[in-house]
Amino acid sequence: MTELPRTASTVVVGGGIVGVAAAYFLADRGEQDVLLIERDRLGSGTSAGGLGGIRHQFANELDVRLSVLSTAFWREFDAFTGGSHAFEERGYLFLADSEGGLASLREPLSLYERCGVPVRMLSRIEIADLVPGMRADDLAGGRFCALDGYGDPLDAVAGFAAAAVLEGARVVEGVEVAALVREGDRVTGVRTRDGDVSAGRVLVATGAWTAPLTATASVHVPIWGYARSIMEAGPYPSLSRTPMVIELESGFHFRPKGAMQRFAMPNLSTDGGIEKGPAGPPEVFGGPVGRPAVPASLEPWVRARAAWRHPAFADVRIARSWSCYYEMTPDDHPVVGRVPEVEGLYIAAGFSGHGFMHAPATGQLVVEEMLDGSASTLDISDLSLERFSTGRRPFAPAVL
């Protein structure tokens, strides 16, 4: 393990996909003495548990443009980083089983056209052709984008981290940052149990664990953890090249992972209702403790839902299952950029399930703000922390 240095120009706290992407872009820009600190192993938090989806189909224009920027990088990941990451560009297929759901799928089509993203509505017949054997007679229709797809978050973490190190960044694992060091109106470094590190800039990329860390510098950030679960079954070799399929109304997803299928699902309320996201923010923004358990009620729900949607899943046997945390904010969008009242402090966290897909754009844009004073490739002012204190609400909800 790399020994913890006592000084750095920039400290990145958090070794998930967003943190390693930012470290890569800092090093790639020629920033010297970049230090990334991860309390466990790289990618061991939310990045280890994600479904790996990469999509353009959002209702908010900034989300779509972040996806356009990110997917351009995902397609050329190997060339940029020298690492290996397969972006399987097989599309996202949204299914609607009601006329209201179909109308909501149709509503943002003009946005996609304006952003240059080819998205089309599909009939039941076209849906059945796209995923052979899948039940479609209960559907009102669907929406598809061939530029969407999925990847592997842990492969991407490894690739970004290795590229950052090759460019001169240092990575320290197994060291927890217990506090930010603030002197007056600026951050001056971080405090760990192995000693302090002085730095001119600190980027907090700690996901669901962000709020208690920024609180040590008297900065309130409304981010909290919300557990979601994934299950894997198979093998189903005949379905190994299908799109990511998402039932809009139920929140049920499935996608291939090699010959296996991965299923993502909403949470279930105590009365059996579907809960795609939290009802509202908690009273206290504390970091999650430990790993969440997979609720026992989810497996029978998934088995029934999967069997209904495709006959290949008629006798699903779950091989493994796990839960991880969405890092939620009150408007389901991240905080990206500087903390206005603390010079040198930056945040990139709170992605509400979209951190992996937008990691390349996030890394590039937050580094532009850190090194150039503002992000120039895209305007990310709507992602500022200030929006919560001013009451500005620029986004529609975006949790699936």
Neighbours of 72 (CB within 10 A): 11
Give the CA count within 13 Å in the CB-facing half-sphere of 200: 7
Helix, coil or strand: residue 345? strand
Average pLDDT of span 359-372: 98
Helix, coil or strand: residue 336? strand
Neighbours of 222 (CB within 10 A): 18
Neighbours of 76 (CB within 10 A): 12
The predicted model scores a pTM of 0.96
- Tokens in use for 194? 């192995």
Whole-number pLDDT of residue 150: 98
Give the CA count within 13 Å in the CB-facing half-sphere of 127: 26
- Tokens in use for 296? 């026992």
Percent of the chain with pLDDT over 90: 92
Sign of CA pseudo-dihedral 389, 392, 380, 353: positive
Q: Is the pLDDT of residue 228 over 80?
A: yes
Model confidence over 334-343: pLDDT tens digits? 999 999 999 9
Whole-number pLDDT of residue 145: 98
Whole-number pLDDT of residue 279: 86
- Tokens in use for 283? 């009273």
Average pLDDT, the chain: 96
- Pairing type for strands 7-13 and 195-204 reads parallel
Average pLDDT of span 63-88: 97
Q: Is the pLDDT of residue 1 over 70?
A: no
Q: Where are the alpha helices (DSSP H) in 149-247?
A: 153-166, 210-215
Q: Going from the N-terminus, what domains does the chain have, and what CATH number goes with each?
A: 7-51+153-223+331-390 (3.50.50.60), 89-147+225-328 (3.30.9.10)
Average pLDDT of span 181-196: 97
d(CA 38, CA 16) in angstroms, rounded, equals: 8
Contact at 8 Å (CB) between 262 and 255? yes
